Structure 1
Amino acid sequence: MSTVVVPQTPIASQSDAWRKVVGTCHMVMGLRKDYLDSLRVVQAEIGFEHIRGHGIFHDWMGVLRRYDVAGHAGTRYVWTYLDQIVDAYLEVGIKPFLELGFMPEALASGPETVFWWKGNITPPADYAEWNALVAATLRHLIARYGRDEVLSWPVEVWNEPSLPEFWKDASKAEYFRLYEETAKTVKDVDAGFQVGGPATSPQADDWYVPFAEHTDATDTPVDFFSFHAYATGPAQHVPFGVYQTMHGAGSLLEQFARPRTILGGHRLASVPHHVTEFNTSYRPDNPVHDTAYNAAYLAPTLVGGGDLVDSFSYWTFSDMFEEQGVPAAIFHGGFGLLTHRQIKKPTYHLYAFMARLGTQVLARGDDHLVTRHDDGRITVLAWQPVGGTDDPTEPDTHTLRLSIPLTRPDGTTPATAYVHRRRVNNHDGNAFTAWQQLGRPASPTTRQLDRLYEAAEPTVTHHATDVAPGIGRIDLPLTLAHHEITLIEIDPVTDETPTWIDDTRILGRF
């Protein structure tokens, strides 16, 4: 096993693109206690900046209301639910990433819908009324939350119009009109808004250049370019779930890079690029999401994604998600970092580990990231590299060895270091495995839930190690279990032990 010699001088600054945005199910879920409890957990330990979800104009939000009573007829905009949800977001320190859709039934040009909760996917019957709805919503938000605050919320037009499931007939011409009308309306409200699209599904390569050309021809503003990335093949359905093949682990980063390559020298290659949805599977019922494999698979994406795009939004923070109906079991392959009732999945811990990293990158490889904090602490994220369906099976263990420099901020070298390690793998820190061992209870009892909460926490080990005098380095050999991610925090030790302390005398055996 060769040793990676970590340099003393930083090679880069750690990007925070991985936590700029996180996804959620349709916005009305923000009225539920379990959803808000989950959001508080995520924000306390990870701290995402924005949250993006569907359905701001879905009828369950009640924003657009028609009335015809006692000789009075017209349209009223109702902000009751929207205000409650945005208030809750801001209270826990997260801002909306506004996705404008789906179509309110009263404005829809047809009956076509998607999802269990029936989001209408048709263009507006009257674009003037759609534009009025968009303008009224943005003006209300500015009036309630203040211009400076609301202008920090990106505005995205629709979701995956490249698929007929989400936009009637997947019509480019109709979406380009929707984008043009909407983007110009947004800018009419305030030119300071950042508006973008086309929010396409993965591999929608044939949309990028036509979208760019249309916005050029119509002088339509595009402040950012958005798209989605997933890494699985077609769904193989079983009752209440699916299985899918997996592309290789580099697939997501390749997808992140593709739009800039296709756009070439066009101006949209230079604007911010936001991946407003990504995950391994695009299905909310694929058990891969619940596994340690999912975390190990995504580790290089979180570490390297900021080199390619300005943000990439994990889909989603919680299993409070109902596109395919109410989930049939507490572990059901949901997208979430957390299950219902806030059980942490391995991928949750990947994000929590990322949140503990320092800002100075000292080394980065295909199985590790070494960072330093301003106070001299070293934090290492390591993972077992994993492959896709067609790659060889990962071995039972993965080893690496790091030689790590350790100094205090004043340049002095400590004699010893404290090494604190958190581990998540197929067994440790893995509530999904515990749930399997409990017999897969669909609705766990209170006692079973307690077991799952305990099993979901990373295994912790710690030890002290000598810092090599003169060279100021520690040797860190690591053995990772199957599909493991691990976080190692290394602190310089200042020994304050009084001279009279003798721990060998604690039991009186002297």
Structure 2
Amino acid sequence: MPRTIVPTEPAGTLSDAWRTCVGTGRFNLALRRDYQDSLALAQRDIGFRYIRGHGILHDDVAVHRPYDAAGHRGTAYVFTYVDQVIDAYLEIGIKPFLELGFMPSALASGDQTVFWWHGNVTPPRDHAEWAQLVQALLRHLIDRYGLDEVRTWPVEVWNEPNLDIFWKDADQEAYFRLYEASVLAVKEVDAELQVGGPAISPGADDWWKPFADFVTARDLPADFLSVHAYSSGPAQHVPFGVYQTLRAPQNLLDQFARPREILAGTVLADRPLHITEFNTSYRPDNPVHDTAYNAAYLAPVLANGGTHADSFSYWTFSDVFEENGVPASFFHGGFGMLAYRQVRKPTYHLYAFMARMGQEVLARGDDHLVTRHAGTGQVTVLAWQPVGGSESPEEPDRHEVRLSIPAPTGGRVFAMRHDVDETAGNAWAAWREMGRPASPSAWQLDALHEASEPARRAFSLPVAPGADGGRVDLDLTLGRHGVTLVTLDPVRDETPPWVDDARIVARD
């Protein structure tokens, strides 16, 4: 197998689009301890900038509160839960990416709902009252957190209106009316607040041109564009779960690129593009989300997605998520990169590995990304076994990556290697061997935490002279569906001359 020669000079800068935003279950769930502990862990290890989810205007957050009692009639806007959640977000260094939805029942024009928690998906019975609600929310946030801060929070109008489960009859004209009322309301509060949409699902490319025509004809703001991306096929249902085919990872990158291709030449061509949801499967009960395969599948997407989008938000950070009701088992194919009780899945480790990459990109390949930290000179290598989706042959048990990496001339480098694959760093595999307990006991939960730890190994490698300076040969053998992080630092040898490790056990 030939060795890839990694250049000495950077070819560019690694985009942070992969961690600009992360998805979450509905807004109200942020009040739960498991949710808060999981998000704090993700912020410690990864450090997302924004968080986006549904339901800030849903009845269980109780913002919109009509009253008629004792001769008094009107509408109160109550922010008790909004404040608790956003305070908690900001305390751990993450900002809200505000999605306007779903419709408060007292303002809704119908009773169609989605999900176990009954998010109302009908247009407002009064668009002026809807605009007042939006403005009340934003003015409260500005009063509490300051105008300069709230100007940094994107405001997205609705969620997947092209699907009739999320917007009554998938009525495009009705969505455009909602969009107009919403963006004008936002800009009336402050012209520099950032608002956009249309938050459409995969397969809705026929919405882009009408949306561009509408905002152009009506001279409406669209400070950013948003769209979702998933790569799975139709659901094959079983009790409490589904199986689905998967297209190749390149399909996700193609979806990221598609809006700008379609909108080239329109007034929206240069707008920031946010993929406000993406994952392999669009189902919260597909076991692929729990596997090492999911991490290997997404590795090239995280490495290259910033080429096409300003952000792409993994859906979601935690299994504290209830679209289909309360999950029936500890591992249940949930969207989260974290299972309950902060048990880390392989995809979580992929993100944590990415968080340790440097700013300077030295090399990209089908199975690797090599970066360097500008300040310290540390070289970081992310390697993965390529996977091709359901139509590709089954992956082998081993995958080889061979790299020649630049290093300071002379001496050695210290390497620290972290591995996740079908056996290492894989709590789901351990849970399966346990017999798939629906509600793990205390000792089983401890075992799952231990099993979720990546395999780690420390070693050193010699630096050999090369035509362009020192070189280190790094040969990696990855396990099936493996993702590996290796950090490389020069060794400064401070071993005293009298040290002889061979004498530790005092043999002749």
Q: TM-score, normalised by structure 1?
A: 0.98
1:414 and 1:196 map into 2 onto residues whose CA distance is 54
The aligned counterpart of 1:478 is 476
**2:445 aligns to what?**
449
Residue of structure 2 equivalent to 1:385: 386
Determine the structure 2 residue equivalent to 1:422: 418
Corresponding position of 2:54: 54
Deviations 1:334-360 (A, max 9, x none): 000101111000000000000000000
Alpha-carbon distance between aligned partners in 2 of 1:127 and 1:402, rounded to the nearest angstrom: 60
Cα distance between partner residues in 2 of 1:414 and 1:323 = 57
Contact 1:415-1:469 at 8 Å conserved across structures:
no
CA distance in 2, matches of 1:302, 1:170: 31
Q: Secondary structure at the match of 2:83?
A: helix
What are the residue-to-residue correspondences of 1:102-113 with 2, within 5 Å? Answer: 102-113=102-113
Letter aligned with residue 136 of structure 2: A
Choose the corresponding residue for 1:461, options 457, 460, 468.
Answer: 457
CA drift of 1:376 comes to 1.2
Contact 1:376 1:406 (8 Å CA) reproduced: no
Find the counterpart in structure 1 of residue 165 from structure 2.
165
Q: Match for 1:498: what amino acid?
A: P
Deviations 1:135-170 (A, max 9, x none): 010000000001111111000000000000000000
Query: Aligned partners of 2:506, 2:80: CA distance in 1, in Å?
Result: 69
Letter in 1 for 2:417: R
Q: Deviations over 1:45-97 (max 9, x none)?
A: 00000000000000000101111111111100001000000000001110000
Which consecutive aligned stretches of 4+ in structure 1 deviate over 4 angstroms post-superposition? none
1:113-124 counterparts in 2 under 5 A?
113-124=113-124
**CA–CA distance in structure 1, aligned partners of residues 410 and 350 of structure 2:** 30
Please report how far the alpha carbon of residue 365 of structure 1 lies from its aligned counterpart in structure 2 after TM superposition. 0.4
In structure 1, runs of 5+ residues without a counterpart are 408-412
Q: Which 10-residue stretch deviates more, 34-43 or 467-476? A: 467-476
State the Cα RMSD in Å: 0.8
Tell me, in whole angstroms, the C-alpha distance in 2 between the residues paired with 1:198 and 1:268. 12
AA aligned opposite 1:180: E
| Secondary structure, aligned partner of 2:262 | helix
1:66-215 residue pairs with structure 2 within 5 A? 66-215=66-215
Contact 1:414 1:494 in 2 (8 A): no
1 CA distance for matches of 2:217 and 2:342?
48
Native 8 Å contact 2:216 2:267 kept in 1: no
Deviations 1:351-389 (A, max 9, x none): 000000000000000100000112111100000000111
Measured after TM superposition, the shift of residue 500 of structure 1 is 2.3
1:200 and 1:282 map into 2 onto residues whose CA distance is 13
Match of 1:319 in 2: 319
Distance in 2 of aligned mates of 1:339 and 1:393:
27
Q: Distance in 2 between matches of 1:342 and 1:444?
A: 13
Quote how far apart the aligned CAs of 1:102 are: 0.2
Whole-Å separation in 2 of the counterparts to 1:494 and 1:137? 56
User: After superposition, what is the alpha-carbon deviation per residue over 1:239-280, rounded to whole angstroms, capped at 9, x for unaligned?
Assistant: 000000111121100100111111121121210000000000
Whether the 8 Å contact between 1:57 and 1:64 is mirrored in structure 2 is yes
What's the secondary structure of 2:196's corresponding residue? Answer: strand
Task: Answer whether contact 2:416 2:487 (CA < 8 A) is retained.
Answer: yes
**8 A Cα contact 1:2 1:400, kept in partner:** no
Letter in 2 for 1:451: A
Amino acid of the structure 1 residue aligned with 2:21: V
Tell me how far apart the structure 2 counterparts of residues 443 and 269 of structure 1 sit (CA, whole Å): 50
The code of the aligned residue for 1:424 comes to V
Letter in 2 for 1:446: A
Aligned residue number for residue 507 of structure 1: 505
Shift in Å, 1:327: 0.6
Distance 2:89 2:311 in 1: 19
Q: Give a deviation string over 1:150-204, Cα, whole Å, max 9, x none.
A: 1110000000000000000001100011001101110110111110000000010
Aligned pairs for 1:367-378 (under 5 A) are 367-374=367-374, 375-378=376-379
| Distance in 2 separating the partners of 1:172 and 1:379 | 47
Q: How does 1:273-422 map to 2 (within 5 A)?
A: 273-374=273-374, 375-407=376-408, 413-422=409-418
Which AA in structure 2 matches 1:487?
L
Deviations 1:193-228 (CA, angstroms, capped at 9, x unpaired) = 110000000010110000010000101100001000
- The aligned counterpart of 1:410 is none
Which letter maps to 1:14?
Answer: L
Aligned length: 505
Shift of 1:414: 4.4
* Structure 1 residue 122: Cα displacement: 0.3
CA deviation map 1:281-330 (0-9, x unaligned): 00000000000000000001000000000000000000000000001111
- The answer as to whether partners of 2:410 and 2:464 remain within 8 angstroms in 1 is no
* Structure 2: stretches of 5+ with no match in the other structure: none
Please state whether the residue corresponding to 2:106 is helix, strand or coil. Answer: helix
How big is the shift at 1:392?
1.3
Partner SS, residue 106 of structure 1: coil
